[in-house]
Structure 1
């Protein structure tokens, strides 16, 4: 996952999946490196085990902590990984730096994937959204959209993500910027919007687990949070709710590092991951959303499940897509400006 999901890391593992493969075929292998944790556990069941069986190969697993690890492997001249999952901004950065192979779209079917998340060198694997969530039993006023969130007259205690990406977009939407006019981001305007509610922000969270705990403990009345995290809190019986109206849609994506040892198999593995059946299965295991629209035609995604997924037909027109292309060009300067804002 992206920079914003490093909290999912749970150390490095190396597992071998050899389902349905004969001993003579097991010489063929491909290595997938992801974010670890609950996400990779779900991906193993939805993506990797079925792919190992379909392709008749061994799929090895590893974990990594983002683009720096990919860069180090490629620069060494001996990359170990064949398919890596990164955040979309990191994927765009990797392409810009020449760290990844072009994808073979004669093998990978991207027909039913939104073209904004299909690049010559990377493709989105799943989506998630940053939403406004609130405690239904709060005695204080709560926000149920970005406009209310950034209104200082709404006095409830709130929390925001301690990174400029997503937080800047949320602030501008809260200040009335239309989604179609969001990029290029007006950074100074966003800082002014954030400044006016800064005294009411009781926590700037960094880890997804922390955001969920803030809601469970009622340390905040409302907050910006990833949809998967608030879904877990709500499913546990807590009286909380959230809305996809204006939610910020982000993606993780797949790349093949430059010089990957098993490039041809890597393309076949990505093709398996992008199949609607694989995409739909992941959504049943963890609240990450398919990017292959055909997944929603499968009965495994019920109407109730689709309601909790940001790319479903009932939600896709409500969300606002984050631009990795803008962030890859501007992230360093904006990160410095945001850090200065937090420090003052």
Structure 2
């Protein structure tokens, strides 16, 4: 009996060593995201499921912006494997040689429009800037961009205190076709902004600021991220918005140059882009899917899909942000915009 017990104990020990070896062989990967509610949702939607699907451990960190990615890459010892960045930062990182080419033999782009990925990056979730208004603000409240940028329409307004999205909306209001929006006619955009500048009572800096302006009725109408209006409506506020000529931007994921676990990183990006992952994320936080096949999974309720800019019913109404143009022009346009606000 003792002999058998010893044999069994030895066998159990050997099996445990094998299990440990398998886990170690499977490895781990580090994902750096925005933190907060978005990363909480990402953990549930695809980080934890990816751990199970790939048999790996996913470590998490908070992303500190492109400068942090650059510092890690320049050190020669990056610690992050997959990083979530703003769209223009993804383009800039690629041009500066800070990221690895993505392996599209591993990462499927089926259901992903061509403008949502590049050689070294792929969009992971979207968000939209829309025109919103208070329903109790009066009959003259602007409900399209042409009226919003018309100084004859008397209403208190607010716009994002950044040139990106703000210049695009001004040009759309002035009759520029969304398909001909880029390259931006910057001079024309500033002329449109100049016309309504006296009626812009506040230039908002954050999503929280914009929501408070609408909630408090400090303004009648404003540009705002759609998710912020959805939150107000959910809480019973009498506000609304339109997706007509909404501007859609996105976050994207990259693999830093020299990432320690590059092959696993590609597999994690592939998991992030799967329709099921994309659909699950939007049920947890209102960041619409990039992969349009997410709408075919049955996970996204029809009522929710009706509020999302990338849904089939809305996608032809919206305008897509061009991070490539902004990467090349942002410094000069930002300088001019800051002077415009100050004067």
Contact 1:248–1:322 (CA<8 Å) still a contact in 2? Answer: yes
Contact 1:140 1:156 (8 Å CA) reproduced:
no
State the partner residue of 1:333.
332
1:282 is paired with a residue of what secondary structure? helix
Alignment of 1:77-226 (within 5 A): 77-139=76-138, 141-226=140-225
The answer for unaligned runs of 5 or more in structure 2 is 1-18
- In structure 2, the CA distance between the partners of 1:143 and 1:60, relative to structure 1 (3 Å rule), is same
State the distance in 1 between where 2:204 and 2:56 align.
41
Aligned to 1:29: 28
| d(CA) in 2 for partners of 1:81, 1:177 | 41
Q: Secondary structure at the match of 2:175?
A: coil
Counterpart of 1:12 in structure 2 is: none
Residue 177 of structure 1 deviates from its aligned partner by 0.8
Aligned 8 A contact 1:108 1:271 in 2: yes
Match of 1:45 in 2: 44
Contact kept, 8 Å, 1:172 with 1:193, in 2: the verdict is yes
> Is the 8 Å Cα contact of residues 25 and 56 (structure 1) preserved in structure 2?
no
> Which residue of 2 is the match for residue 252 of structure 1?
251
Q: Does the 8 Å CA contact 1:183/1:326 hold for their aligned counterparts?
A: yes
TM-score (norm 2): 0.92
Give the whole-Å Cα distance in 2 for the aligned partners of 1:314 and 1:33: 33
Q: Specify the SS of the correspondent of 2:340.
A: helix
CA distance in 2, matches of 1:128, 1:316: 12
Tell me which protein shows more helix as a share of its residues: 2
Find the residue that maps to 2:290 and give its secondary structure. Answer: coil
Quote how far apart the aligned CAs of 1:49 are.
1.0
Which structure would you say has the larger Rg?
2
The alpha-carbon deviation at position 25 of structure 1 amounts to 4.6
Give the match's secondary structure for 2:92.
Answer: helix
Measured after TM superposition, the shift of residue 337 of structure 1 is 0.8
Q: Runs ≥4 in structure 1, deviation > 2 angstroms? A: 22-27
Aligned partner of 2:16 in structure 1 is none
Which digits, 9 at most, give the CA deviation of each residue in 1:144-164, with x for residues without a partner? 111111011121111111111
The answer (yes or no) to whether the contact 1:246–1:318 under 8 Å persists in 2 is yes
For 1:187 and 1:289, locate their aligned partners in 2 and report how far apart those are by CA, in whole Å: 29
- Tell me: CA distance 1:337–1:25, structure 2 relative to 1, closer, same or farther (3 Å): farther
Shift of 1:23: 5.0
